Amino acid sequence: MTWETAIAYLNFTSRWVLLTAVLYKAYQTRDKGWALLTTAFLIDAMDIEDYILGPLGIAIKPCAYTVASKIPNFFIAILLIWGAVHLKYGESKLKHVISISTITITAYVWLFLLATDLIESPSVRSSIPSLFLGLSLIYFGVVLLNYVVSSHWIERLFPWGLILLGALNLTYPVTRFIGWFVPIGFLLGALFRLTAATGAVKFVFYPVSPVTSKTEPDVKPGAFMFCSKADVLSKFGEFYTKPGTVIVTREDIMELSQRVNPESLVFWITRAKEGKLSDS
């Protein structure tokens, strides 16, 4: 096995590991955002890229490659942004729909131009697709860092791997055509994907359990506001409340109910979800 083939296999395998982790997360949560992200990573795993497919013995017709190799970049970018928006906001607002629609129209116009003789430079052909893909990976990584993954360093490999991969994609229109850098760039891409895949596996299959207090803390009466579940646990321990406590929370009430005194009053601030409410 040559060095190029080993890198291709590493890149190919890490793509499918990422897909598996995100797919399982979508299955666990039944969340629209993770479902969109699953589609994005499925397209990414089947990316039309000669440096990946060539060593694997798969050939794309030269006449189709110019356009076909750019289509996945746009699809992945649109789905990553859309999925990340759902993870962050829980819904797609009008401004998000307008932004995604603008990207879609730009993608169509660019693919139309690629099918003509108006753009001859390979670097220019790659510029817009690489820009959209790189920025979408960085945006998704930032959303994961700020709203989804825990502070555990292995879980944070998931977003950081994607952010580094996005930054590398931003340089693609130039570095892809620098002979001495090409193998280095392919290796970096494979390593960044492997980094993201490692963090994703930890995040999905081995999530961090919150630290709990074995003794009931002595908390004076008053009003408290916390930005994370970990902060609440550090203050109140495993059982958040005593009788007579009033809680205003955005956490899923079904998960919270196991750790809240039954005599507490809970106000659950949430977005409406589809489906029927259970008896509880």
249: β partners: 268
236 alpha-carbon distance from chain centroid:
32
Per-residue CA distances from 235 to 207, 219, 267 (Å): 22, 8, 20
Average pLDDT over every residue of 233-258: 64
The ranges of the chain annotated as CATH 1.20.1070 are 3-205
pLDDT tens by residue, 140-153: 999 999 999 988 99
Question: Which pair of tokens denotes residue 45?
Answer: 């795993």
- The owner of tokens 């076909």 is 68
79 alpha-carbon distance from chain centroid:
10
Q: Is the pLDDT of residue 229 over 70?
A: no
Q: So what's the architecture of 3-205 in CATH?
A: Up-down Bundle (1.20)
pLDDT tens by residue, 17-68: 999 999 999 999 999 999 999 999 999 988 777 666 565 577 777 777 778 8
pLDDT band of residue 11 (cuts 50, 70, 90) is: confident
Q: How far apart (Å, rounded) are the C-alpha atoms in residues 105 and 110? A: 9
Average pLDDT over every residue of 234-254: 66
- The owner of tokens 């746009």 is 74
Task: Provide the percentage of residues in the chain whose pLDDT is more than 70.
Answer: 77
Q: What is the pLDDT of residue 215?
A: 53
Between 192 and 279, whose confidence is greater? 192
Per-residue CA distances from 241 to 122, 144, 183, 224 (Å): 62, 30, 57, 12
The predicted model scores a pTM of 0.72
pLDDT tens by residue, 205-215: 998 765 554 55
Contact assessment for residue 162 and residue 136, using Cβ atoms and an 8 Å cutoff: no
Question: Which pair of tokens denotes residue 203?
Answer: 């995040």
Q: Could you tell me which of 38, 34, 44, 60 has the C-alpha nearest to residue 11? A: 44
